Amino acid sequence: MFDHEKLRVYPEVLAFASGAEAILERAKKSSPLHHQLDRAKTSILLNIAEGNGRFTAPDRCRFFDTARGSVLEYAAGLDLLAVKNVIDPKELARDKAVLEKIVLMLIGLIRSNSADRLHEASISYRVKSKMDYD
C-alpha cells in the first residue's frame, strides 16, 4: 500500500471520481467544459498522491493546495452543468456536499503539515437554485 492510499481523503476522492465519470458521460465530450472537468478531477487525485510523497511540509502543502483548487474548480464546473441542465439541483447539492467534505479534509492535511501558516476561517457555502434568481 502506498502512503497516499492510507490518507482518509484518498478513498473519498476515488469515490467522487467514480461518480464524476457518470456525470461527465452526460456532458458533450467535445465541449471545453467536459475536458476541463476531467482535468480537474484527475488533478485532485494526482496532486494528493504526489503531495503526500513529498519530504518537506511546504512541498506537501503546495500539492494539497493545488488539489483543493481543483476541487473548487470542479465545483464551479458543476454549477455550469446545472445551468446547462446536464445535472439537476439535487445532484448538484449532493455532489457539492461531497466536494465540501474533500475540501475540509484537504484543509486538515494542510494545517497538519504547517502550523505556522495563515488559514482562512471556515465558512459555509450555499448553492443557489434557479428559484433564488426568480
Contact 112, 57 (CB under 8 A): no
CA atoms within a 13 Å half-sphere pointing along the CA-CB vector of 98: 20
Q: Classify 127 as helix, strand or coil.
A: coil
Q: Which of 8, 108, 2 is nearest to 49 (CA)?
A: 2
**pTM of the entire structure?**
0.83
Buried-exposed string 25-58: b where 16+ CB fall within 10 A, e elsewhere: eebeeeeeebeebbebbebbbbbbbbbbeeeeee
Rounded to whole angstroms, the Cα distance separating 79 from 56 reads 35
- Which tens digit of pLDDT belongs to each residue from 49-93? 999 999 999 999 999 999 999 999 999 999 999 999 999 999 999
Q: In CATH, what number is assigned to the domain containing residue 103?
A: 1.20.1440.60
pLDDT of residue 114: 81
Query: Considering the domain boundaries, does residue 1 fall inside one?
Result: no
Identify whether 119 is part of a domain: no
- pLDDT classification of 1: cutoffs 50, 70, 90: confident
Average pLDDT over residues 103-116: 90
Domain span at residue 75? 7-112+124-133
Model confidence pLDDT, tens digit, residues 5-31: 999 999 999 999 999 999 999 988 888
> Structurally, how many domains does the chain consist of?
1
118: in domain = no
2 in any annotated domain: no
